[in-house]
């Protein structure tokens, strides 16, 4: 078992708030790119903390990039005064890590929101991810990000370029290589906390929907689902207002 790493943090909202959330980013990103959720939670009275995962952002480098290792790191991440997170929001890879952490440590979090989580990517999904990462590494400039995503907010364009410069290319490659097969379905089925999958639009692109999601929800009634129309794999960047409105609706449900 690889020892967990201490992950760097940044936060939004009052650190003394009684409502505490952890934000876990996806592959090739960093904690700062979860800013939409951080701002929304802070405005709603929460304290939200985002981490840079191992090999990402300014997170520590390592040799192990298995989902189990990512999960061990986030499971070892606790609120400043200890106790459990009231909410964990995980995007893509971050969603997979959060699922495993919550399944193995039931007292770690009271609730999960999984944003288009990478629970069981198909070979096609993994090839799409690989091609996207190759494109990013070929030109990690702001101009390239802007050309690929002209509708994104300037913050997202700037920080996506920064994240591409910060991340370890080897870590990204090893995350795919070391997770064969990539499948945390069993952990998701064992979750014992309320869990909501906030999906992207299958008509655009979604990494987790259809029969895989239907089967999981049938196996675990604690898992709910909704999606944001017109969005790809990162709904909080593609249609932020609609995504945050749905996110807040989920929290109020």
Please report the domains of the chain, with CATH numbers, ordered by start residue. Answer: 9-252 (3.40.50.1820)
CB 208 within 8 A of CB 120: yes
Handedness of CA 53, 57, 63, 67 (dihedral sign): positive
SS3 state of residue 210:
helix
pLDDT tens digits, 200-251: 999 999 998 999 999 999 999 999 999 999 999 999 999 999 999 999 999 9
Give bridge partners of residue 89 from the DSSP assignment.
Answer: 23, 113
Stated pTM of the model? 0.98
H helix or E strand, kind and range, residue 96: helix 93-104
pLDDT tens digits, 112-152: 999 999 999 999 999 999 999 999 999 999 999 999 999 99
Q: Which of 49, 68, 47 is nearest to 5 (CA)?
A: 68
Q: How confident is the model at residue 1 (pLDDT cuts 50, 70, 90)?
A: low
pLDDT tens digits, 159-194: 999 999 999 999 999 999 999 999 999 999 999 999
């Amino acid at each position: 078992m690889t020892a967990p790493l201490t992950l760097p943090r940044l936060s939004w909202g009052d650190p003394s708030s009684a409502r505490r959330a952890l934000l876990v980013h996806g592959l090739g990103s960093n904690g700062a790119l979860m800013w939409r959720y951080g701002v929304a939670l802070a405005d709603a009275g929460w304290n939200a903390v985002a981490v840079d995962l191992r090999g990402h952002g300014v997170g520590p480098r390592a040799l192990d990039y298995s989902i189990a290792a990512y999960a061990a790191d986030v499971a070892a991440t606790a609120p400043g005064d200890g106790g459990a997170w009231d909410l964990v929001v995980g995007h893509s890879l971050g969603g997979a890590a959060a699922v495993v952490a919550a399944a193995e440590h039931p007292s770690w979090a009271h609730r999960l929101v999984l944003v288009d989580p990478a629970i069981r990517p198909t070979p096609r999904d993994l090839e799409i991810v690989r091609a996207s990462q190759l494109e990013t590494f070929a030109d990690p400039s702001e101009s390239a990000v802007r050309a690929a995503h002209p509708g994104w907010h300037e913050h997202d364009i700037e920080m996506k370029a920064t994240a591409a410069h910060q991340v370890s290319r080897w870590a990204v490659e090893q995350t795919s290589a070391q997770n064969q097969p990539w499948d945390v379905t069993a952990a998701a089925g064992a979750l014992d906390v309320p869990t909501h999958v906030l999906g992207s639009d299958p008509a655009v692109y979604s990494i987790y929907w259809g029969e895989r999601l239907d089967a999981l929800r049938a196996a675990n009634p604690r898992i709910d689902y909704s999606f944001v129309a017109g969005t790809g794999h990162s709904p909080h960047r593609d249609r932020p207002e609609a995504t945050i409105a749905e996110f807040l609706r989920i929290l109020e449900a």
